[in-house]
Amino acid sequence: MDGMQADAPVRHDWSQADVEALFATPFMDLLARAHAVHAAHHDANAVQVSTLLSIKTGGCPEDCAYCPQAQRYHTGVAAQKLLDVDAVLAQARAAKAAGASRFCMGAAWRGPKDRDIPKVAELIRAVKALGMETCATLGLLGEGHAEALKAAGLDYYNHNIDTSPDYYGEVIHTREFEDRLDTLEEIRAAGLKTCCGGIVGMGETRAQRAGLLRALANLPEHPQSVPINQLVRVPGTPLENAADMDPFEFVRTIAVARITMPKSIVRLSAGRQQMSDEVQALCFFAGAGSIFLGEKLLTTGNPDVEHDHALFARLDLHPLQVEVDPPLPGSMRGDSLDGCCGGCDCAS
């Protein structure tokens, strides 16, 4: 292989030209190179399985052009309150039984208020007690929030940069690209693992897709989890009529993410429902090592569980076995749901 070898050191100094050159690599050569990198750092036949639940849906004040949960768009998504512990644990148990090792919780906030953090911490403790990894995506974090979530047992915090710095203003106007970088710094400083990626197929150019991956690969620390989402076009959002993305271009994006962030787990994320099994297989070969399992991702569709199980069997893939840190002392037991564990300031 030319250029970066499978055992090359992790880099944080990618130039725009470097990443664009990867995208321009002949397709078969690119996939071979990406697969070699993947196999050098990961079990190429194992896929980390997560499930994503919307714990607080709709009513978001942001204007992200792709999002059906923005209150300013008419998408049919009604605002709902934060789910209680019983409802979340029922979903978490079902996810674990279906093969998920990580349970991700998303709330449609610009950012949580101080009063929200103890309530989310209660959910984190309860899910953690089931023996699952925990992840949360709550928006911009305030002072002390990341530390409080970490103390509750949170493993990962998701905060995507969404797109390249030079295209960001075409998609979002209610927060700056730098706001996202600041939140990522808070997450790292608190000792949380980062889940950070973006969305493609929003009308960006190939150069801007390269800019997205360059921004991710040049972060001070590569995200441990890198979700690559393909736009799900939702009626009522500004991007409902976005042009179809060439599926092979999406596979290229997965491959370039794998090469530029060799130790990260690249997640084949939103948009799988619109992908053929064959395209998904190419993505796994190119370095995707994670999926979301479950019929819904927040408010949009996802392949059904049985279909994913069948696809894994056809491709001889198996779920990645994950060692989960034990619950912190005083955590709520997953089989005892009579109320708060007493270790937080929640109102319940």
Rounded to 5, what percent of the chain is helix, strand, coil? Answer: 35, 15, 50
Q: How distant, in Å, are the alpha carbons of 123, 146, 149 from that of 90?
A: 12, 25, 21
Residue of 163, 158, 145 lying closest to 184 (CA atoms): 158
pLDDT for res 255: 98
Catalytically annotated residues: 60, 64, 67, 104, 135, 195, 267
**One-character DSSP codes across 154-201:** --EEE---BS-TTTHHHH--SS-HHHHHHHHHHHHHTTPEEE--EEE-
pLDDT for res 341: 32
Beta strands in the chain (DSSP E): 46-56, 102-107, 133-137, 156-158, 193-195, 198-200, 225-230, 265-268, 288-292, 296-297, 300-301, 318-319
pLDDT for res 318: 94
pLDDT for res 296: 54
CB 40, CB 91: distance < 8 Å: no
Question: How far, in Å, CA of 256 to CA of 29, rounded?
Answer: 12
Would you put residue 52 in left (φ > 0), alpha (ψ -120 to 50) or beta?
A: beta
Q: How many residues does the chain have?
A: 348
pLDDT for res 329: 55
CB count in 10 Å sphere of residue 99: 16
CB 213, CB 160: distance < 8 Å: no
Question: How far, in Å, CA of 64 to CA of 301, rounded?
Answer: 19
The secondary element (H helix, E strand) that includes residue 243 is none
Print pLDDT tens along the chain (348 aa). 444 566 677 899 999 999 999 999 999 999 999 999 999 999 999 999 999 999 988 778 888 888 888 878 878 777 788 899 999 999 999 999 988 999 999 988 888 999 999 999 999 999 999 999 999 999 999 999 999 999 999 999 999 999 999 999 999 999 899 999 999 999 999 999 999 999 999 999 999 999 999 999 999 999 999 999 999 989 999 999 999 999 999 999 999 999 999 999 999 998 898 899 999 999 999 999 999 887 655 555 566 788 999 999 999 999 998 777 665 554 443 333 233 333 333 322
Q: Which residue has the tokens 């409802």?
A: 87
Question: How far, in Å, CA of 241 to CA of 291, rounded?
Answer: 26
Q: What is the mean pLDDT of the chain?
A: 88
pLDDT for res 337: 28
Burial label for 179, CB within 10 Å (0-12, 13-18, 19+), is middle
Question: How far, in Å, CA of 131 to CA of 184, rounded?
Answer: 26
Q: How distant, in Å, are the alpha carbons of 33, 61, 176, 202, 239 from that of 67?
A: 34, 11, 17, 12, 9
Q: Is 103 helix (H, G, I), strand (E, B) or coil?
A: strand
Q: Which residue has the tokens 């279909």?
A: 307
